[in-house]
């Protein structure tokens, strides 16, 4: 359970501090899913197998800005998300934790 919670926290932290926002168009769920599943991606393969789709859906359907989601997809480690994304991500913590927990079952 602790490992699952750590992975969920990592998702939240990395989404706030990772990657660059190239364009203003919102990336698709599949693009986000692919990015979070990559071993050399922003999460270093720390996302529990089977939770990628659920977490990607939660992120894309959230109020997180297009720029921050694009930053995640592009794995731009220099990007700093706006304060408004911190609030949006805090609201996602429960959903992301549930995704990770369900995948660990």
Domain residue spans in the chain? 2-104
Neighbours of 60 (CB within 10 A): 18
41-97 pLDDT per residue, tens: 776 777 778 888 999 999 999 999 999 999 989 988 898 889 888 888 888 888 888
Length of the chain: 105
H or E segment and range at residue 70: helix 66-74
Confidence grade of residue 8 (pLDDT, cut at 50, 70, 90): low
Q: Is the alpha carbon torsion for 14, 50, 96, 65 positive or negative?
A: positive
CB of 42 closer than 8 Å to CB of 14 = yes
Dihedral angle computed from the Cα positions of residues 24, 27, 31 and 35, in that order, rounded to the nearest 10 degrees: 60
């Amino acid at each position: 359970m602790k490992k699952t919670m750590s992975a969920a926290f990592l998702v939240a932290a990395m989404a706030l501090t990772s990657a660059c926002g190239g364009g203003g168009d919102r990336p698709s769920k599949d693009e986000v899913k692919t990015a979070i599943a990559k071993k050399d991606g922003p999460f270093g393969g720390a996302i529990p197998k089977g939770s990628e789709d659920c977490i990607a859906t939660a992120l894309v359907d959230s109020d997180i800005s297009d720029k921050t989601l694009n930053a995640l997809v592009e794995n731009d480690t220099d990007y700093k998300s706006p304060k408004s994304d911190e609030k949006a991500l805090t609201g996602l913590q429960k959903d992301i934790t549930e995704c990770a927990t369900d995948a660990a079952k």
